[in-house]
């Protein structure tokens, strides 16, 4: 089956208000009438409201880079799924490797965040990926299978349609060293097999699996053209309109 490509920009903790608005204005103009794939941007929380307003009427969707797993209450500094929805976000990234490794998020917390997003009507991008040490030790498959399986615990067949998986090998994020198309395809095919076991073949076939990790204009066509790669989660190269537009257009 052919899955519609989905390319999302993860701005991380970059840009300021003016830069964010300039970027999305250029993206909206550059992608007007372009139907070839689904596109989303994930700004820092504080810019989501304005970015979502600026993109009203365009097909570009807005997402959070993270969210709290709790609905409300005494959780200083946190942002709930409902708040994200309230300011115009339609999706949220969960389990990004920077959240897992820099902020100590466990598989269990990632699962709980995914639940919070889905319960509030947000779509989600669930990130999985092995570190260099894990890859070298031959643990790539066991690590990504564990992250996927634990993350999706309790997610129904119907809810799975609102989940995108992002395979992001940690050693490729922000390093300039991307996985090869063959490495990405292999990991994606493996993840799809795990999905088939957790659900069934036809549900697994519908799930989009993005690749992330040093995607840039110069490697986007070959990565996005790889078998099993249904799009990309783009960090650094999503901060400039030209590079992000080139990546989207290379699909
Ligand atoms: P990068 O980041 O494209 O800068 O490697 C990808 C990501 O972390 O989602």
Per-residue pLDDT of the chain (251 residues; tens, 9 = 90+): 789 999 999 999 999 999 999 999 999 999 998 888 999 999 999 999 999 999 999 999 999 999 999 999 999 999 999 999 999 999 999 999 999 999 999 999 999 999 999 999 999 999 999 999 999 999 999 999 999 999 999 999 999 999 999 999 999 999 999 999 999 999 999 999 999 999 999 999 999 999 999 999 999 999 999 999 999 999 999 999 999 999 999 98
Closest C-alpha to ligand 1, atom 7: 235
User: What is the 8-class DSSP label of residue 130?
Assistant: -
Catalogue the active-site residues: 96, 168
Burial class of residue 138 (count of CB atoms within 10 Å of its CB; 0-12, 13-18, 19+): exposed
User: pTM score, two decimals?
Assistant: 0.98
Is residue 211 within 8 A of residue 167, CB to CB? The reply is: yes
User: Closest ligand 1 atom to the C-alpha of 236?
Assistant: 4
Q: What is the DSSP string of 24-77?
A: HHHHHHHHTT--SSEEEEE--HHHHHHHHHHTTTSS-EEEES---SSSSSS-TT
**Ligand 1 centroid to 53 CA: how many Å?**
25
The long-range contacts involving 197-204, CB below 8 angstroms and separated by at least 24 positions, are 198/148, 198/149, 198/152, 199/157, 199/160, 200/157, 203/157, 203/160
- The length of the chain in residues reads 251
CATH 3.30.70.260, domain 5-249, yes or no: no
Pocket test for ligand 1, best of 65, 167, 168 (most atoms within 8 A of CB): 168
In whole angstroms, give the CA distance from residue 221 to residue 234. Answer: 13
- Kindly give the distance from the C-alpha atom of residue 173 to the centroid of ligand 1, in angstroms, as a whole number: 5
Ligand 1 atom closest to 10 (CA): 9
């Amino acid at each position: 089956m052919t899955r519609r490509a989905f390319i999302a920009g993860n701005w991380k903790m970059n840009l300021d208000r003016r830069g964010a608005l300039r970027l999305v204005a250029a993206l909206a103009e550059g992608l007007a009438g372009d139907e070839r794939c689904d596109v989303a941007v994930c700004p820092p929380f504080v810019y989501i409201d304005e970015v979502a307003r600026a993109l009203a009427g365009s097909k570009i969707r807005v997402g959070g880079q993270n969210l709290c797993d709790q609905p409300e209450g005494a959780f200083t500094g946190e942002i709930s799924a409902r708040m994200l929805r309230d300011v115009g976000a339609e999706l949220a990234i969960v389990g990004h490797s920077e959240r897992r490794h820099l902020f100590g998020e466990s598989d269990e917390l990632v699962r709980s965040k995914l639940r919070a997003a889905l319960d509030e009507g947000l779509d989600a991008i669930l990130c999985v990926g092995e570190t260099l040490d894990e890859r070298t030790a031959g643990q790539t498959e066991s690590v990504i299978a564990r992250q996927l399986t634990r993350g999706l615990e309790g997610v129904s067949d119907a809810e799975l349609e609102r989940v995108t998986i992002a395979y992001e090998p940690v050693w490729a994020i922000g390093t300039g060293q991307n996985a090869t198309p063959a490495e990405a395809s292999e990991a994606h095919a493996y993840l799809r097999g795990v999905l088939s076991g957790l659900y069934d073949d036809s549900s697994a076939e519908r799930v989009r699996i993005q690749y992330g990790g040093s995607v840039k204009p110069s490697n986007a066509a070959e990565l996005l053209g790889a078998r099993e790669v249904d799009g990309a989660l783009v960090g650094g190269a999503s901060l400039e309109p030209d590079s992000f537009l080139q990546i989207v257009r290379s699909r």
